[in-house]
Amino acid sequence: MPVWLTHFTTTYLMWNEGPMIWGSDVLILLTMLGIVVTLTRLRRWKWLWREWLTTVDHKKIGIMYLLAALIMMFRGGVDALLLRTQLAVPGNHFLSAEHYDQIFTTHGTIMILFMAMPFIFALFNIVVPLQIGARDVAFPYLNAISFWLFFFGAMLFNISFVFGGSPDAGWVSYPPLSELGFDFGPGENYYLLALQISGIGSIATGINFLVTIFKMRAPGMKLMRMPLFSWSVVAASVVIIFAFPALAIALALLTLDRVAGTHFFTILHGGDPMMFVNLFWVWGHPEVYIVILPAFGVYSEVVATFARKRVFGYSSMVLSLMLISVISYFVWAHHFFTMGAGAGVNTFFAIASMLVAIPTGVKVFNWLFTMFRGRIRLTLPMLWTIAFVPCFTIGGATGVMLAAAPADYQYHNSYFLIAHFHQVLIGGVVFGMLAGMYYWWPKVFGFMLDVRLGKIAFWLFNIGFYVCFMPQYALGFMGMQRRMYTYPTDMGWGTLNFISTIGAYIMGLGFLFIVIQVLYSIKHGERDLTGDPWDARTLEWSLPSPAPHYNFAVIPTVTERDMWWELKERKETDRLKLKSDMITPIHMPKNSGRPFLMGVSFFIAGFGLVFEWIPIAVLGLIGILLSLLFRAFEYGDEHTIPADEIRETEAALGRL
C-alpha cells in the first residue's frame, strides 16, 4: 500500500484500531448498499425525492423524525450495551479506555440530542396541527429546514465513529479537558459542529410551533380549550426559545477556542472554564425539561382517553406546565454544587430545584385522580403511562435528594446520580414518547401495532429497567463514580454491576421486540378504518387515519374542551360532517428541495470545519448562502387543491 494511503487509513479511517472499526465500516457499507439496491430495484428514487426529501407536510416530517429517533435510540442503545458489557465484571478490558470514553460521550449526546429531541419533534409535528385544527404549521418550509438540520447534524455526529474518531470529553464536554491542548483529535469538533447545526434547527422548531399554536388554532379553540399535549408544546417551545441560544454560544466559543486559538475557557491567558459550565447548564437543565414536558402532555392525553374521563384539574395542569418551564431557568447551578460557588448560591439553587417537585407533584396527583374511578382500559399507551408513575416518582424523589446541596457533596457524579437521571429520562421521557408513539401510531399510519408483542416489549423493558438501574443507586452509595472505565475486584462492586448489565440487556431485548412489533404489524396489524380506534377525545380523532394531506377539508368550529368526545357523548358528531357545498379550494405550501440541499450544505460546511479544511467549509457556506438567496426571490410557493379534488378524496374516504 502506498504511504499516503496508509496514512489516510490510519489517520482518518482508524483501521489500525481493530475489529470494532472494521465491523462498523462493513455494516455501514452494507446498509448503504442495501438502501441503494432496494431503491433502485423498486424504482423508488423519484418517490423518495418527491414524497419525502422535498416534503413540507408536517405529518411526513413527523414520520421522518420518528424514524430517525428510533434509529438513534438503537445507536445510543448499542453504546449503552457496550458500556455495560465493559463494566459487567471487575478489571475488564473488553473496551480500551479511549473507546470507553468515546462511547459514553456518544451515548449521552445521541440519547439527549439525537433521540429525545427528534422524538418530541416527531410528536409535535404529527399531533399539533391536527389537534388544534390547522392545515399545517405556521412555517412549513422552515419546518423542513429544521428537520434537515437535525438530520445532517446527527449524520455529522455519527460519522465521527468511522471517520476521524468520536468525541470523548463526555456529553457535557467541559473545558479545559475539551480544549485543543488535551483533546486534539477531530472528535470534539464533530461534537461542537453537529450540535450547533442541529441546535439551529431546534430553535427554528420552537419558534415555529409557538407561532402555530398562538395563531392557527381553529375558531373557538380558546387557549383554555386546547388539548394538554398542545399546551405542553407551548411550554416546551418557550423553553427551547430561551435555552438554546445559550448552547449555541457555549458551543461557538469553545469552537473558537479550538479553531481560532482564542482563550475563553482555556487556563492560559485569563480564560475561565467555569463560564462554559455555566453557559452549558443554562441550556442543559432547561433541555431536560424540554424533553419531559411533551411527555407530560402525552400522559395527559392518554390518561384521559383510557380512563374515559375528563382530565382532572385541567387548569392546574396548564399552570404547572408553565411553572415548570419558568423554574427550569433557576436551577442550573445544581449541576455543580461542588465547584465552590459558595453557600448562598448553592442554597438558592437547591431550593429552586426542590421547588420543581411541587408542580410536578401536582401533575402526578392529577393523573392519578383522573384514573380514580375511571373505566380504565389497559392498552399499550396506558400501560406505559401507568408504568411511568412509580418510575418517575422514585426518580423525582432521588432528584430532591440530589438537590439538597450539602448531601450532594456525597452523591455528586456518583452512580447514584446516573441512576437518578436515567430514571427520570427513561421513566419519564422514553416511556412518554413510547406511549405517544403507540397512541398516535394508528393516526399516522392507519394501522394498529400488535398488542401481544407490544406487551412483551413493555414487560421486558420495564423489568430490565429496574434490574439495570436500582443496583446503580446502591453502587453510588458504595462510592462508584460515573465515567469509570474499570474497577478492581476488592471494591465489592462486581455483583451489583453484573446485575445491572443483565438489566441493560433485558432492556435491549425489549427494544428489539418493539422493532419486531412494528415490522410484524406493518403486515398483520389491524387496519384502522374508523379514524378513532381508541374512542378518544380530541379533534385529531375526528379525521380519517391517516389524515388527508390538507388535514381538514373544512376547519371545524370548536365550542368546548375535548370537543370530539363531547360530540360523541351527545351524539352530535354530525356537526363535523362535511357537506359538498362547504368545500372550497385549499391552498397548500409547495414542496421544495431547498431545505434538503441546505441541510447538505450545512453538513459540508460542518465537515470542512471539523478538519479545518477551509475550502470545503467555504463550499458549504456558499451552498447555505445560495439557498437563502433563492428563497428570498421565491414568490408563489403555494399550490391550490381544487374543490372537486377534495370532494373526491373525502368521498373515497367515505366522509362525503
Partner 1 sequence: MAFIEYALHGRVANEEKPLEYQDPEQSIKILGFWIFLATDMLLFGCLFATYLVLRTHTDGGLTAKQLFDVPGFATETFLLLTSSFTGGLATLAMRNRNKSAVLAWIAVTVLLGLGFLGFEVSEFAANVARGATMQRSAFLSAFYTLVGTHGLHVSIGIGWMIVTWIQIARKGITRVTARKLFVVNLYWHFLDVVWVFIFTVVYLSGVVM
Q: In the complex, which residues of this chain contact partner 1 (CB under 8 A)?
A: 134-136, 138-139, 203, 206-208, 210-211, 214-216, 218-219, 241-242, 244-246, 248-250, 253, 256-257, 260-264, 266, 268-272, 275, 279, 282, 555, 586-589, 629, 632-633, 635, 638
Rounded to 10°, the helix 228-259/187-215 angle is 150
**CB of residue 219 to partner 1, shortest distance in Å:** 5
Judged by beta carbon, residue 203 or residue 435, the one nearer partner 1 is 203
**CB of residue 273 to partner 1, shortest distance in Å:** 11
CA–CA dist 243, 290 (Å, integer): 9
Closest by CA to 60, choosing from 47, 71, 72, 73, is 47
Query: In 110-139, which residue ranges form alpha helices assigned H by DSSP?
Result: 117-132
CA–CA dist 655, 539 (Å, integer): 16
Tell me the β-bridge partners of 639.
588
CA–CA dist 377, 305 (Å, integer): 9
**CB of residue 631 to partner 1, shortest distance in Å:** 10
Judged by beta carbon, residue 241 or residue 516, the one nearer partner 1 is 241
Judged by beta carbon, residue 264 or residue 458, the one nearer partner 1 is 264
Residue 129, class by beta-carbon neighbours within 10 Å (0-12 exposed, 13-18 middle, 19+ buried)? Answer: buried
Residue 406, class by beta-carbon neighbours within 10 Å (0-12 exposed, 13-18 middle, 19+ buried)? Answer: exposed
**CB of residue 274 to partner 1, shortest distance in Å:** 9
Tell me the β-bridge partners of 447.
527
In the chain, how many H helices and how many E strands?
23, 2
Judged by beta carbon, residue 217 or residue 309, the one nearer partner 1 is 217
**CB of residue 442 to partner 1, shortest distance in Å:** 25
CB 161 within 8 A of CB 194: no
Q: Which long-range contacts (CB under 8 A, 24 or more apart) does 490-497 make?
A: 491/90, 493/90, 494/89, 494/90, 496/471, 496/472, 497/87, 497/88, 497/89, 497/90, 497/471
Judged by beta carbon, residue 207 or residue 354, the one nearer partner 1 is 207
Q: Within 13 Å of residue 268, how many CA atoms lie on the same side as its CB?
A: 8
CA–CA dist 643, 641 (Å, integer): 7
CA–CA dist 245, 109 (Å, integer): 18
Judged by beta carbon, residue 269 or residue 579, the one nearer partner 1 is 269
Q: Where are the beta strands (DSSP E) in 545-647?
A: 586-589, 638-641
**CB of residue 337 to partner 1, shortest distance in Å:** 20
CA–CA dist 492, 484 (Å, integer): 15
Judged by beta carbon, residue 86 or residue 325, the one nearer partner 1 is 325
Q: Locate cell 452523591: which residue?
A: 411
Judged by beta carbon, residue 168 or residue 540, the one nearer partner 1 is 540
Judged by beta carbon, residue 253 or residue 304, the one nearer partner 1 is 253
**CB of residue 215 to partner 1, shortest distance in Å:** 5
**CB of residue 344 to partner 1, shortest distance in Å:** 18
Judged by beta carbon, residue 56 or residue 386, the one nearer partner 1 is 56
**CB of residue 138 to partner 1, shortest distance in Å:** 6
**CB of residue 556 to partner 1, shortest distance in Å:** 10
